[in-house]
Amino acid sequence: MLIAADLAFGYPGRTIGRGVTLCVSPGEVFCLLGPNGCGKTTLFKTLLGLLRPHGGRLELDGRPVAGTPRREFARRVAYVPQATAATFPFTVFDVVLMGRASALGSFERPSAKDRQIVRETLSQLGIEHLASRSYTAISGGERQMALIARALAQRPAMIVMDEPTASLDFGNQVLILRQILALAAGGMAVILSTHEPGHAFACADTVALMCAGGIVMTGTPDAALTPETLGSLYGIEVAVARLAGRGVCVPLLHGRP
């Protein structure tokens, strides 16, 4: 269980957000929505212990994140960043194999079991055909899938995903949403951010709306994602309806025939 209480966060000498309180439990999908620049990625880096909190309390299973050794933390929590341009021409297989690093001792080489976990993870996401490709030579969407595979290869108890469906085509977005639901059904805690309210309706148990560094509302998708809250958050008019058993969000475009 990850708990943040009255958390303040930011960068050295600059606080970006304050008063963030949240709790994420095993088997829960916690989804964060908010406009660009509101602090979602910085908050995630703080939850992951990559940035020190500026105040408040942050604990993983009752233990301060700041006091947890990084190797131990990495065995329990995985991170999927937004895909970026690659520098070194590692194969996709080797990129995913890096996810096994926290399970290895100093100077220990990946075992046959580690390599089998990588093959299983690539197959699980349907990207085994990319295994021998250079990470620098594949598309942005394919790099995003490889980063998700790297995180899953850690075999973590919790996974933090920063816009995991960014750059993915419609079919691969659905694949990732299904994977998120499967991970939660298996007991994994999932924290993700998205710019698509429909994705939150599809897979989230809890939704938090973020604006200017603070959480302005937390609740179920149906409670949090209303025309009023979304309109206020993004500064647009929105209609929310139900289709095929779940919520659908549609922006109202004025001036169109």
β 55-60/246-251 pair status: unpaired
- Kindly state the tokens that stand for 228: 């009023």
* Tally of CB atoms within 10 A around 85: 7
The Cα 164–Cα 173 span in angstroms is 8
Q: Which fold has domain 2-84+157-251?
A: Rossmann fold (3.40.50)
The Cα 124–Cα 127 span in angstroms is 8
- Kindly state the tokens that stand for 116: 């089998």
Higher-confidence residue of 1 and 83: namely: 1
Domain ranges of the chain: 2-84+157-251
Q: Kindly report, residue by residue over 134-185, the tens digit of the pLDDT.
A: 999 998 888 888 999 999 999 999 999 999 988 788 988 998 899 899 999 9
Q: Is the pTM of this model over 0.75?
A: yes
Q: Kindly report, residue by residue over 204-243, the tens digit of the pLDDT.
A: 999 999 999 999 999 999 999 999 999 999 999 999 999 8
